[in-house]
């Protein structure tokens, strides 16, 4: 069974600080996504990474896919209270039947 482990599980920081969330696995994924979920809502896609070593930027968010496609990171620069939420990584196994495996999530709280 392929697993995605996220760390940290909880993060509480002050506005303006930087942070990094990690998503790790012992298995290879054909592609990986990051989602953000707000309370009472469903997850919403932030980015999809496909190529090993790929880096994508979305405003203050930087996403990286590991060279071996087993891990990924999300870095937020100058966090704002609006960044508060549950961040989820999700990966597709190489066989890709369509099954999406989610990490357990990182709850981020940004205090003003």
Q: Which conformational region is residue 16 in: left (phi greater than 0), alpha (psi within -120 to 50 degrees), or beta?
A: left
Shortest reach from residue 90's CB to other proteins, in Å = 7
Residues 6+ apart with CB under 8 A from 97: none
Note the residues at the interface with other proteins (CB under 8 A).
4, 6, 30-33, 40-45, 48, 50, 86, 88, 90, 92, 94, 96-105, 107
Q: How many CA atoms lie within 13 A of 28 on its CB side?
A: 9
Burial of 22 from C-beta contacts in 10 A (0-12 / 13-18 / 19+): middle
Cβ 101 to other proteins, closest distance in Å?
7
Instruction: Kindly tell me which of 43 and 66 has the beta carbon lying closer to other proteins.
Output: 43
Our CB check for other proteins shows the closer of 6 and 76 to be 6
Q: Compare residues 45 and 78 and give the one whose CB is closer to other proteins.
A: 45
């Amino acid at each position: 069974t392929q697993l995605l482990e996220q760390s940290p599980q909880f993060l509480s920081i002050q506005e303006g600080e930087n942070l990094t969330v990690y998503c790790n696995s012992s298995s290879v994924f054909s592609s990986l996504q990051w989602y953000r979920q707000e309370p009472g809502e469903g997850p919403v896609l932030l980015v999809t990474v496909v190529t090993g070593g790929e880096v994508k930027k979305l405003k203050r968010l930087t996403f990286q896919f590991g060279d071996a496609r087993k891990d990924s990171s999300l870095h937020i620069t100058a966090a704002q209270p609006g960044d508060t939420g549950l961040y989820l990584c999700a990966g597709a196994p190489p066989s890709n039947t369509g099954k999406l495996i989610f990490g357990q999530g990182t709850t981020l709280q940004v205090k003003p």
